[in-house]
Structure formats: structure tokens, C-alpha cells
Amino acid sequence: TNESHVFFSSFLLPKTQCLDNQPAPESEQNPQADLEKEQDLVLEGRNKGVDLENKTDLGLKEKAGDLLGENSELESHQTVSPLAFPKPKTLSEHLNPNTDSQPKTDSNPKPPKVLDEDFLGPAQCLDQKYTWLSCSKVFCPPWRRCIGGQCVCKMPYKCPRLKNTCTLDGSVYYSMCQANAISCRTKTPTFSHFSSSCKAGDKVHVTVSVSSSHNVVEINTRLGKMLVCGKDWNMAAANVVCRNPLNVDRGAEEASNIKYKSLDKATQWPNACMRIRCMGSELSLAECMIHNQEPITANTEVAVAKCYKEPTGECKKFICANGKCLGHGKTCNGVDDCGDNSDEMCCQSQAFHCKSGVCIPQHTFKDGIRDCLGGEDELDETDKAVVNRINHLYVVPEIREIRSSAERGLQCGVPNMEYEYKQDDHHSRRKSLAGWEETLPTQIQWYNQSPHSFRIYFSLWKSHHKQSTTDIIPVKNIIIHNEYNPQTYANNIALVQLEKMDVSGKCMQDNPAVRAVCVPWSTQQFQPNDTCTISGWGRDRGSAPTATLKWANVTLIGDCVNYYKDRFLPGMECAGDLEGKVDSCQGDSGGPLVCTDKSGLSYVWGIVSWGDKCGEPNHPGVYTKVAHYFDWIRFHTGWPAVTKFNQ
């Protein structure tokens, strides 16, 4: 393949004589061979997915003793010792620690609202029927990858080799990822446990015994049969049990506990239990986090699952994407009550609330695995990313290791903090007329484009003066979006492929002043009122174009159709300020709108496209929304070039 020398670049392509004289690019290009094969396999999964955003979005090693293996380092299951875990703050509390989080009392309480409106998000979100497979809102599990806004089954050979994995049918795989990639296609549980020997008697499976009409849950391991402890038992785990082994597709109706002493006296029950922690998407309890065994007393509560039955009459509360009817108070609590997580995908408050509107379980807060798109669930009180939490409770080390190894493959979005520009090589910064400031040469490290000369300039600060770090790279190919409309600016995006230097496959030598920006994959990653940065050589209000690269902070603006009516089309984004103090202008077209998430990763969120009355009130700048075109970009560049997450 030639993906090793494909460089992602996107910008406004004005109708110039230079481009008009070039051969018309093909509207579609052949993807790399392995991508083509893989897309053929996942098209069915894509076509069966729920509606995408706006219908157009392309856009274990834990110290657990010798539980399930003779060697705890090689043969342990996903087990941890029970520890105290502090209740996390909601996102609003996390970002505003001085906010009073206690609910206000009302002397005249109102009746419960239908659909739990206090917590659920807008109807536009609910109408999309998002689930845990909607990768525009959440991350895919490591054995799935994101295509067309849906998490589809990954090819098993794409999984890394990590730990010897035993399965229920006796097969042995080289990672939990590989085993679950296979069960993803068959929709039947495969994973059992980790071990170097995979003995038949060590398999982990679940049984249910009836006691006075209660479905009492038992788990079998190499230590024998045990009950499941009532502590930490919730609807997410009960949904897993009702789906397997009880074969109820919509999962559980209720997760409850019963005292050990209340169990049927005629049955010989185990005298120990294990605590289970599930996300809710697992195919069996074997895939959940299992704790060490705990002794049982007469008053110990053990887990009971009541499976779902279709209600009589109309559902008057919340209807899940899978058709399950939930009662009042079951949404936005950080627990997958639906069984497809649709009750946690469009939330405004309650449990830990990601900026994208997803509520995540409390036990995933600061667990070393990014769950929110922007990584805000992994920040400490000073908004710094939490690292090296290897022994944190409830973390599945294999999943963390798979995610980490994959996400390290593409380095982007982080400036080179070790590179320093010499102060005596540039003039001091000054404020400009339209809210811009001159940049330092190392402030804006995203590249500049020169389509007229078909050369790409990297690390250029003065528009007519090269620096010692400036690289000039010839262009190999330009791919204009096949549905680009120069009259309406619809689909105003293009890709530039650079010539590679030599047999190394690189298009440029390592440059300390240049770092790649990440490509966003979801239109949910940044929200209205987020602050982002624009840069360019465009003109100030009423002045000539500047010779020095300038930057400015702008705010993402929602509901831009209110300002531009039918001229504002899908794939567009507004940014600036409604007072007209800061805006992109003539000469800035094609420049980047860069947004940085809470974890510190920067994304090219937008491309300067068009606007009316530069710098005037109620006329914000309009940008091409890059995330809207992620699948189109990846089709031409190949996966490795742009895919950091959801691989």
C-alpha cells in the first residue's frame, strides 16, 4: 500500500486557473487492499446500524491471589480484591467544584415527569436511538471498530497478542480481543478466562437456580460453584445473566437481592459468593470483572435476576432503542438498564456526565481507560490526566492494554514542548484590529497550504520569509470531494497527498517545529460554546492581508441555521462571537479551526470556508466540519493515517 506516505491535508479549494488546468481527479479512489476487504465484511453491520446523526454523518494483571489459575500472574481471571471506591462528582461538579450539588427542596412537589425530562437530553438526540454501539457518542470495545458511526466486529487478526485466553468451547486464543471478535460475529459467548493451560474444569460459566420463584445467580470457576454477592449487583449485570444463560433478548426487568437465610432450605447452597461488576454489553458474566470470593453469613445478600416480560398496554415512561420499557427513574443513572445503554446516551445530569451527553458508570471514573470522548472522566481535580493507575479497582487490564497499544500507534494532537524558538528571531506580539494576535512560530504548528504552486509549506510564520525549520514538500495528488459545490460551498473539503522522499516512505524528514493535528471522528467531540483556535494570514477588518501568521480564540456556535437559514448545510460549523469582535476573514480560507479536548489532544475541527460581512455582529464565520467527513477521509487515506481511536 502507499498509506505510509499519504499526508492528510484539507482546505478550501477556490476556483483558480491553476487547478482548472489540472486533470480532473477521480471522484472515488481505490482504498488500500486490506481496507477494501475489511469494508466488504463490515458493510452488512453498517447497513443494519441505527440512523446516524442528522442522517448525514459520515461521520489483566491485577493482584488477585490464586483465584482462577495456578499462577496468578499468568492464569488469573479478571479479579480484584474489594476496595472502597469514592463516589465521583458529576461533570458539572468536576468542572465547577464550588457548585452546590444538593438538590433544592420544593414545598410543593410536582408529580414525576414523563420520560425523566429532568435528566434526559433533547428529543433530537433521543430520536437517533443511540446505543453502546454508536461510536459517535462512545468508544467501541477493543474487538470492534468504528465504521459509519457504528461499532462493527473487528477482524480477529487485527487484535494484538497479549495473554493466553481460554474459551468455553475449548479453543485457545492469543487475547481476549481475538476471542470476543469471533463471538461478536456469532453473537454467542466465547471467552472463559485467562490461563496458560486452559483445563476443561476451569471454565467460567453461569447457572441460575430457582428458590421460591427467585432466579438465584451462581457462577462456576475452578474453585467450584459460588453465589453472586448482592453487593454491586445491578441491572447491567442482571441484563447479562438474563441474556445468557436465560435467553431473554431484552435482558432483565429487575436486579434485586435476597438474604442467604431466605433461600430454599431444601437446596444445598454454596457458602461463598463473588462480587461481579459489568458494563452491560458483555455476552456472559465471564467477561465482567470478578472479585475474589467472600464468605457468606445468614444475613449476606445474594444476587437475584428477574428477567424482562413485555408489559401490557402502552409504555408510558422510557422506551429503549431495543424496545424495552423502563420505569421512572431508570434513565441517566450511569447503569445500563436497557441492555443496549440507550438510557444513558442522551443525558443532562445525574451520574458522571460526559460533554457528549453520555452518562457512564461510577466505577469507570478515573479507572485508566478513557470513556468520555474528550477524556474528562480521566482528569483529576486540576484537570490533569490520570496516569499509571495500574492497580485501580474494576479495571480490566487486558482491555486497557489493548486500547493503549492501539492508541499509541498514531501520534497526533500534541505539540513538541521540547522545541523552543529563539526570541531574537521574531518581533514581539501585538494585538490586531479584529481580535487576532500574531503567533509565535511555535504556537500554531499546523501546516500551511499553497495550492497555486502545488507545494506545501510546513513551519511558515512570515508569509514571504522562510525559517530554518521551513520544509517545502511537493504535492502528488489532490482529491476534491466528489460532491463539492462552489456555489453553495457544500462539501468544501479536499485532501492533498504529498510526494514521498525516498524508499523510507516518508514525505518529510522529522521536524522539531511540526506536529500533526488529530482528525476528529465524531461530530459529538466538541460542543457549542467550546473555545477553539483559528489561524491564518487573512486580512484584518478593512486592511490588507497580514504578512505574519496570526491566531485568535473563537467559540463554537450552535443553531447557526438561525443566522444563515438554508445556506447553512450539513457538514458546516459556525464559530466566532456574535458581537463580531473575532472572526476569520478574506485570505484565511482553508485555515484550521483547532479544538483541544480535556485530555490535551488537539483536533482539526474545522476548515475556514465562508461567511458574510467579516467581523460583523450576528455573522459568525462558517467552517467545514471535518468530523462530518471522517469516513470519506479515511476511505482515501487508509485507517492508520487518521484513526487513533476505535480501531
16 versus 546: the higher-pLDDT residue is 546
Segment 141-163 shows an average pLDDT of: 92
Whether 540 shows a pLDDT value over 80: the answer reads no
Q: pLDDT per residue over 429-485, tens digit each?
A: 332 334 445 555 444 433 344 455 678 888 888 877 888 888 888 888 889 999 999
| Contact criterion met (CB below 8 Å) for 546 and 584 | no
Segment 103-131 shows an average pLDDT of: 60
Q: List Cβ neighbours of 422 (8 Å cut-off, separation of 6 or more).
A: none
Provide the Cα torsion 314, 318, 324, 325; round to 10°. Answer: -50
| Contact criterion met (CB below 8 Å) for 506 and 516 | no
Strands 550-557 and 172-173: unpaired
Cell of 478: 489532490
543 versus 89: the higher-pLDDT residue is 543
Give pLDDT, residue 367. 80
Range from 85-94, 305-314, 549-558, 581-590 carrying the lowest mean pLDDT: 85-94
Cell of 294: 467472600
Q: Which CATH superfamily is domain 451-498 in?
A: Trypsin-like serine proteases (2.40.10.10)
Amino acid at 587: G
What architecture (CATH level 2) is domain 530-644? Beta Barrel (2.40)
Burial 119-139 (b: 16+ CB within 10 A, else e): bbbeeebbebbbbbbbbbbbb
Domains in the chain: boundaries:
451-498, 530-644
Ramachandran bin of 162, using left for φ above 0, alpha for ψ from -120 to 50, beta for the remaining angles: alpha
Closest alpha carbon to 609 in 14, 7, 8: 14
446 versus 182: the higher-pLDDT residue is 182
Range from 340-354, 382-396, 542-556, 594-608 carrying the lowest mean pLDDT: 382-396
Report, in this order, helix, strand and coil percent for the chain, each rounded to 5. 20, 25, 60
Give pLDDT, residue 364. 84
Q: How far apart are CA 230 and CA 238, in angstroms?
A: 11
Alpha helices (runs of H) in 372-442, residue ranges in sequence order: 397-407
Whether 264 shows a pLDDT value over 60: the answer reads yes
Cell of 572: 458546516
Give the three-state DSSP class for 603.
strand
Q: pLDDT per residue over 361-385, tens digit each?
A: 888 888 888 899 999 888 875 555 5
Give pLDDT, residue 12. 37
Closest alpha carbon to 277 in 292, 258, 263: 292
Q: How far apart are CA 440 and CA 444, in angstroms?
A: 7
Closest alpha carbon to 148 in 57, 28, 32: 57
Instruction: Give, in degrees to the nearest 5, the angle at Cα 539 between 534 and 545.
Output: 115
Give the three-state DSSP class for 581.
coil
Q: How far apart are CA 267 and CA 251, in angstroms?
A: 26
Task: Compute and round to an integer the Cα radius of gyration of the chain.
Answer: 27
Q: How far apart are CA 342 and CA 289, in angstroms?
A: 22
Q: How far apart are CA 291 and CA 278, in angstroms?
A: 12
Task: Give yes or no on whether 451-498 and 530-644 have one common fold.
Answer: yes
Would you say the pTM of this structure is higher than 0.85? no
Instruction: For the chain, give the number of residues.
Output: 647
Q: What percent of the chain shows pLDDT beyond 70?
A: 71
pLDDT mean across residues, the chain: 76
| Contact criterion met (CB below 8 Å) for 469 and 512 | yes
Q: List Cβ neighbours of 164 (8 Å cut-off, separation of 6 or more).
A: 74, 172, 174, 194, 195, 196, 198
> For cell 471498530, what's the residue?
145
Provide the Cα torsion 336, 337, 338, 343; round to 10°. Answer: -70
Amino acid at 67: L
**Residue 36 phi/psi, 5° resolution?**
-60, -45
Alpha helices (runs of H) in 379-455, residue ranges in sequence order: 397-407
Cell of 170: 475449548
Closest alpha carbon to 321 in 299, 349, 343: 343
Q: How far apart are CA 597 and CA 552, in angstroms?
A: 17
